[in-house]
């Protein structure tokens, strides 16, 4: 969610238990603008918090002109001092899938892959690398996993130019209340996969400038099996909560430009979801 509108945005998602102490909010209010200035980001988003056993990671994302380009990710242990994370590789994502259990809250903590996945550990040894995974690498991989799976935006909030770059839609004035209650009105803000499988007849009704992302209605489990949609604040705010990554909350105020998502959780995927339906 936008750094500038953070206090108001956090109050809109507070119904799910998400929140920060006044001290942490004040620290973010002071440090995020400096982060934007020092790294020359066009925008800074507060992504959320992953709670470890001995401490918490507070995450921010820096964006450039092209909103679909890879984002810079940073973490802090106190909301004041920030460290840049290395981009997640496919190897890091695969290894992070193997690691189970809570984060420790220590970036230098090392997971022994020999105990978790002997085959992956053997491959690392053969390539001259140590068979360990630092928690910092697991952190950046987990953030990438969550963004790919449940990072969402309303339909029409972003447009794709003929050159392929993605920008905020200046003409977006929010979804109507009727549309805001439909899963089909929200898109995954990541590289689309389902669009390639659509027939020409299905693509005929799509606007290539706005319908260039995957809709939530195609998520597995299908429909509302992956998401909870609720009206809150007297029906003035639509809130979506992910049932796959518990702790991810998205909000949108219909008929306005206000929307965003934030994650407050342990960084563990809900593997029991198929059995809960």
pLDDT tens readout for residues 57-115: 999 999 999 988 889 999 999 999 999 999 999 988 988 988 888 999 999 999 988 77
Same domain, 132 and 114: yes
pLDDT at 198 over 70: no
Asked whether residue 62 is domain-assigned, the answer is yes
Asked whether residue 271 is domain-assigned, the answer is no
Q: Which of 175, 225, 216 is nearest to 194 (CA)?
A: 216
Asked whether residue 158 is domain-assigned, the answer is yes
* Dist CA 156 CA 164 (whole Å): 16
Selected residue with higher pLDDT from 275 and 191 = 191
Asked whether residue 149 is domain-assigned, the answer is no
Strand partners, 57: 50
Same domain, 158 and 262: yes
Same domain, 211 and 188: yes
Distances (CA, A) of 79 to 16, 60, 143, 203, 270: 22, 9, 17, 44, 27
The residue written with tokens 């978790």 in the block is 116
Asked whether residue 146 is domain-assigned, the answer is no
pLDDT at 201 over 50: no
Same domain, 159 and 246: yes
The residues, any chain, with a CB within 8 Å of residue 80's CB and separated by 6 or more, are 27, 30, 31
- Sign of the alpha-carbon dihedral angle for 260, 265, 268, 271: negative
* Domains of the chain: total: 3
- Sign of the alpha-carbon dihedral angle for 113, 116, 119, 120: negative
Asked whether residue 22 is domain-assigned, the answer is yes
pLDDT at 260 over 70: yes
Domain stop point among 41, 67, 85: 85
Terminal C-alpha separation, the chain: 30
Same domain, 259 and 159: yes
Same domain, 170 and 198: yes
Q: How many other C-beta atoms lie within 10 A of the C-beta of residue 196?
A: 6
Asked whether residue 248 is domain-assigned, the answer is yes
Same domain, 58 and 111: no
- Identify the pLDDT of residue 273: 77
Same domain, 215 and 178: yes
Same domain, 95 and 188: no
Q: How many CA atoms lie within 13 A of 155 on its CB side?
A: 19
Structural domain that includes position 72:
3-85
Helical H runs in 151-215?
A: 177-180, 200-203
Q: What is the largest CA-CA distance in the chain?
A: 59
Same domain, 79 and 97: no
Residue pair 233/12 in contact by the 8 Å Cβ criterion: yes
Domain stop point among 137, 164, 199: 137
Distances (CA, A) of 236 to 9, 15, 47, 185, 251: 13, 13, 23, 17, 10
Same domain, 175 and 240: yes
Give the best-scoring range by mean pLDDT among 56-60, 69-73, 124-128, 197-201.
56-60
Same domain, 163 and 253: yes
Asked whether residue 235 is domain-assigned, the answer is yes
């Amino acid at each position: 969610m936008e750094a500038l509108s953070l206090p108001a945005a956090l109050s809109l998602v507070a119904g799910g238990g998400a929140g920060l102490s006044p001290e942490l909010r004040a620290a973010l209010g002071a440090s995020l603008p400096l982060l934007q200035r020092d790294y020359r980001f066009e925008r800074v988003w507060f992504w959320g918090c992953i709670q470890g056993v001995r401490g918490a990671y507070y995450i921010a994302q820096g964006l450039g002109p092209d909103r679909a380009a890879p984002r810079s990710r940073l973490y802090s242990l106190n909301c004041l001092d920030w460290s840049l994370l290395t981009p997640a590789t496919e190897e890091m994502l695969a290894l992070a899938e193997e690691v189970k259990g809570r984060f420790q809250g220590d970036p230098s903590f090392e997971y022994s892959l020999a105990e978790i996945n002997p085959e992956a550990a053997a491959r690392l040894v053969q390539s001259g690398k140590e068979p360990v995974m630092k928690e910092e690498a697991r952190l950046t991989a987990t953030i990438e996993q969550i963004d790919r799976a449940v990072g969402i935006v309303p339909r029409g909030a972003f447009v794709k130019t003929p050159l392929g770059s993605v920008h905020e839609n200046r003409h977006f004035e929010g979804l109507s209340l009727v549309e805001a209650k439909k899963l089909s009105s929200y898109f995954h803000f990541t590289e689309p996969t389902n669009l390639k499988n659509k027939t020409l007849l299905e693509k005929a009704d799509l606007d290539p400038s706005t319908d260039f992302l995957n809709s939530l209605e195609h998520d597995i489990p299908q429909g509302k099996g992956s998401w909870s949609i609720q009206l809150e604040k007297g029906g003035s705010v639509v809130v979506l909560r992910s049932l796959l990554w518990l702790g991810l909350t998205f909000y949108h105020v219909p008929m306005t430009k206000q929307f965003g998502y934030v994650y407050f959780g342990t960084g563990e995927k809900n593997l029991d979801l198929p059995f809960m339906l």
